[in-house]
Structure 1
Amino acid sequence: MTGILTARPVPARSKAFDLLLAGGLSMTFGFLAVAQTGLGGVLAFGMLVPLIWRRTHPELVFFGVSAIAVLQWLAGIHLMAGNIGLLVALYAISVYGDHRFSRIALIVGGLGVLMATSRYYNGGDWKQQITMMGALGAVVFGVWAIGERRRTRGLYVAQLEERAAQLERDRDREAKLAVSNERTRIAREIHDVVAHGLSIMIVQADGGLYAADQSPEQAKKALATIGDTGRASLTEMRKMLGLLKQDEQPELDPNQPRPQPGVSSLPELIDNVRDAGLTVDYQVTGEPRDLPALLGLTAYRIVQEGLTNTLKHAGPGARTCVQLDFGREMLTVVVTDDGRGAGVAPSSDPGHGLVGMRQRASISGGTVSAGPKAGGGYEVIAKLPYHLPTGGEQ
């Protein structure tokens, strides 16, 4: 609850209006009250001048004006034109004041009606007195009710404005979150491209260096593979980095979506890895089916990351097997090798590759498990349901 001594913020235009209102009422009804009641009319100015602060301190203004009205009643001064200040103050507290003080003000107004009729309208019969009491009570209650209605409407408008502002904040927050998610996805894509391409280039460079003296032709082939892999990786990375330049990125044609690799691209990926010197067995079981773009991309990247890890950790002479099982409810992707990866001491940091695989699988509603397999080697198993979870990325 706002304290009655605390000034409420009021626009400068409203302050100017209140100054003109109080000044106009004082000049009109104040001097009229002086003419009606003589020196007692000075009290009228005490009821009208405080209206300058009717918005900033509505409670103080109302109870101050009411106190002056009580002095008028005690002095026996008849009702005068300056009493209009009571109604203006009552309206102000019902609109701008605290709700509980507004209720008290209505009670004070009702007591004022009883006091006025008992003092100023006690000469006639009881019917006339009741009629006058009802008329004054209707005026007081009507002024208060109009103020309450305006307060309620103002609160409703303020709630609508706050709701609209909250919706705008939510929209901006969701837009920023979408941008953040997209940048995270692009970062994963860049990691996959760079890590896979560099792994192949390193293996080819090592092989070319070893064969440079004994088999120049093999060394030339390795150098050619390094160049092709580097150019392909650089081209794909440039495409993805271009997405980060959103201010310069033209609006994409919805009829020409950006192509993404999928399960159909796996044979080409495996051929590139074979050219790097890794023995890869590719097996497909079950009845192949068309997959959603996200699911196909997820399967492709998991295989790519699994082969990259094999190139980096399995050691020379390792054999790798990639298996795709098109089951009834889900696609199962298995990448295994028989190298020395199982003997490598586990790290407290699982690496961006494994984290990326798990994130991709979770977005598609699937799971990924990775670790050493019995008998040696390493194994990655991903289970990807065909139907995306509700609200998943499309």
Structure 2
Amino acid sequence: MVCALLTSTVMTVHKRWLIPFTEELVTWRQYVFIALMIVLILIMGVGDSEARELIYPASVATLVVVMEVIGFALLALGLVVQLTRFELGLGLVGLGLFCSSFAVFPIQFVAYPIVCYQTAVAAARLNFRRRLWLTIIIVGSLYASAYILIVPELFQGKSRLHWWQTLHLYNVILIIGAVIVGVLVTIGFFWLVGSGIRRRYQRMQDLEARADYAVVQERNRIAREMHDIIAHSLTVMIAQADGGKFAGKKNPDMAITALDTIGDVGRSALAEMRQLLSVLRETETPERSLATTPGVAGIGDLIKETRRAGAEVDYTVTGTPHVVRESLGLSVFRIVQECLTNALKHGSANIIMSLDWLSDRLIIVVKNDLGGGLVDPQQLADVPGGRGLIGIAERAKIHGGAAHWGPHAGQWVVEVTLPLGE
């Protein structure tokens, strides 16, 4: 009856107090539970001297008192220590329960909840290997607490018989069987409770890790977009500004054309920047139009901008262009944009670019003669750089493609292959 009542009570306590471990394995509920157990230990630690004299001989009564005090102290210390060093605290609790088994007051009201609590927390906090050897401590402690739930009943009655006079074979088998069943059922239940808590906590950690990874991926995506927009636009604008400065002395019309190009490129870059940053606004509605997202159709404008910057671009398209999904179209646009930007910054004025549309893939090839670029490198010192080719490779990899680059026959060649599958 007592075991059933305590089990029901502790099950309720653990359902309400252990489940919150999914948010944090050490919570304020643990502190409250431990404080309550320590208070009960202190209250019950006074003991019953008359009952002690009835059970133990006077010659060992002092030793029993010492064992009680040591056991209570170890219980309280173990509950506190395990908040920071769980294994050590659990060992102290197990040793404290062993020493406290000599007590004559109803320690079961403290021992039983403590051991059930330890079982669930051990299963929730420790990995599998560390839980194996700690199971021995838990099972032993629970056996001891279950033992002291039953044995005191043997010392009650009017005759006040000694324990060896009451333990007939039938009683021994009944008591041992009840203790074993109680230990196995209780340890299994609270072990499952703790394991469930651990699984929920691990799932929460996995979700947090996925969320962090998604944030990093989005940050990298935005960084690539920012790099491509700024690097290309500023490269064209600087080239036009330098060209217009020298041409304006002899041909003012060319200077005006250069200024017009700078204005157009600047406005285009500003529009792309606004569109990119708009995805970060929480107030943005789902119906936000994505019609301005650059894609394959915008490559022609890139070619015009590059030519107006002073480069000669030989652009050819072979095969039948496919209608591609928006994300792939954006990647194609950014890859071409970065290739043309690098050619302006680092190569000569002659650029050869081709798009080869095959049935299952698109091959982009950009070549330019090695030599000084149209833009003075010192003027690009403050322009984000160093991620252009890496960004090309990352964009290709996202869609299952590949990118290769390097010098070949006096030219710098960039070749990107993108699958066109659904």
TM-score (norm 2): 0.66
Residue 269 of structure 1 deviates from its aligned partner by 1.7
Question: Where does residue 73 of structure 1 map in the other structure?
Answer: none
Q: 1:65 to 1:383 in 2, by over 3 A?
A: closer
Per the alignment, residue 5 of structure 1 pairs with: none
Three-state SS of the structure 1 residue aligned to 2:178 is: helix
Partner of 1:325: 356
Who is 1:281 aligned against?
314
Name the amino acid aligned to 2:400.
G
**Residue of structure 2 aligned with 1:368, choices 403, 406, 416:** 403
Q: Which moved more, 1:132-141 or 1:324-333?
A: 132-141
CA contact (8 A) 1:337 1:377 kept: yes
The aligned amino acid for 2:362 is L
User: 2:241 touches 2:259 (CA, 8 Å); kept in 1?
Assistant: yes
The answer to whether the Cα contact below 8 Å between 1:91 and 1:144 also exists between their aligned partners in 2 is no
Partner of 2:297: 264
Question: 1:216-252: CA deviations, max 9, x gaps?
Answer: 1111111111122122223322443455xx4x53244
CA distance in 2, matches of 1:341, 1:372: 15
Alpha-carbon distance between aligned partners in 2 of 1:174 and 1:194, rounded to the nearest angstrom: 30
Counterparts of residues 176-191 of structure 1 (less than 5 Å): 176-191=212-227
TM alignment of 1:17-96, pairs within 5 A = 17-20=40-43, 26=47, 31=50, 46=65, 52=72, 56=78, 57-61=92-96, 63-64=98-99, 82=104, 95=116
Residue aligning to 1:298:
331
Task: Choose the corresponding residue for 1:335, options 338, 343, 366.
Answer: 366
Q: Is the 2:399–2:419 contact (alpha carbons within 8 Å) kept by the matching residues of 1? A: yes
When residues 12 and 62 of structure 1 are mapped into structure 2, their CA distance, relative to the original with a 3 A threshold, is closer
1:174 aligns with 2:205: no
Does 2:349 correspond to 1:313?
Answer: no
Distance change (3 Å), C-alpha of 1:253 and 1:19: same
Residues 46/254 of structure 1: CA separation in 2 closer, same or farther (3 Å cut): farther
Which amino acid in 2 is paired with 1:13?
L
Residue 347 (structure 1) aligns with: none
After TM superposition, give the deviation of residue 362 of structure 1 in Å.
1.4
Please state how far the C-alpha of 1:314 moved relative to its aligned partner.
2.8
Offset at residue 387 of structure 1 (A) = 3.0
**CA apart distance, 1:140:** 4.2
After superposition, the C-alpha distances for 1:343-383 in whole angstroms (9 at most, x for unaligned) are xxxxxxx9321111111111111111222332x33322111
After superposition, what is the alpha-carbon deviation per residue over 1:281-306, rounded to whole angstroms, capped at 9, x for unaligned? 32221122111222211211111111
SS class of match (1:139): helix
Aligned partner of 1:381 in structure 2 is: 415
Corresponding residue for residue 193 of structure 1: 229
C-alpha contact 1:332 1:382 (8 A) present in aligned 2:
yes
Matched with 1:158 is 194
1:211: how far off? 1.5
Say which is worse superposed, 298-307 or 225-234, in terms of deviation. Answer: 225-234
8 Å contact kept, 1:291–1:386: yes
Whether the aligned pair in 2 keeps the contact of 1:21 and 1:52 (CA below 8 Å) is: no
Query: What does residue 15 of structure 1 align with?
Result: 38
Is 1:91–1:146's contact at 8 Å kept on the other side of the alignment? no
CA distance 1:45–1:167, shift in 2 (3 Å): same
Q: Tell whether the 8 Å contact from 2:370 to 2:411 is kept in structure 1 after alignment.
A: yes
Gaps of at least 5 residues in structure 2 are 1-29, 79-91, 120-133, 153-160, 374-384
Equivalent-residue separation in structure 2 for 1:63 and 1:167 (angstroms): 37
- In the alignment, the residues of structure 1 paired with residue 396 and residue 41 of structure 2 have an alpha-carbon distance, to the nearest angstrom, of 66
The 3-state SS of whatever aligns with 1:335 is strand
3-state SS of paired residue (1:226): helix
- Higher alpha-carbon deviation: 10-19 or 181-190: 10-19
- Range with greater deviation from structure 2 (148-157 or 177-186): 148-157
CA distance in 1, matches of 2:163, 2:282: 82
Per the alignment, residue 391 of structure 1 pairs with none
Identity %: 31
User: Relative to 1, partners in 2 of residues 1:47 and 1:89: Cα closer, same or farther, differing over 3 Å?
Assistant: farther
Kept after mapping to 1: 8 A contact 2:139/2:187:
no
Please identify the structure whose Cα radius of gyration is greater: 1
**Structure 1: which amino acid aligns with 2:342?**
N
The two structures, once aligned, show a CA RMSD in angstroms of 4.2
CA contact under 8 A between 1:62 and 1:90: conserved in structure 2?
A: yes
Distance, in Å, in 2 between the alignment partners of 1:228 and 1:255 is: 24
Quickly say closer, same or farther: Cα 1:157–1:35, change in 2 above 3 A.
Answer: closer
Aligned mates of 2:105, 2:254 — CA distance in 1: 109
Alpha-carbon deviations, 1:90-112, whole Å to 9, x = none?
85896559543566676997xx9
Instruction: Name the CA distance, whole Å, in 1 between partners of 2:250 and 2:312.
Output: 22
Question: Which aligned pairs between 1:77-226 and structure 2 lie closer than 5 A?
Answer: 82=104, 95=116, 99-101=135-137, 119-121=164-166, 132-226=168-262
For residue 351 of structure 1, give the secondary structure of its aligned residue in structure 2. coil
User: Partners in 2 of 1:253 and 1:165 — Cα distance?
Assistant: 33
Which residue matches 1:126?
none
Alpha-carbon separation, structure 2, partners of 1:36 and 1:310 = 97
- Relative to structure 1, the CA distance from residue 104 to residue 199 in structure 2 (aligned partners, 3 Å threshold; closer, same or farther) is closer
In structure 2, the CA distance between the partners of 1:146 and 1:46, relative to structure 1 (3 Å rule), is farther
Determine the C-alpha separation between the residues in 1 that align with 2:111 and 2:165.
21
Q: Which runs of 5+ in 1 are unaligned?
A: 1-7, 70-81, 122-128, 343-349, 389-394
Compare relative contact order (CA 8 Å, sep 6+) and give the higher one, 1 or 2.
Answer: 2
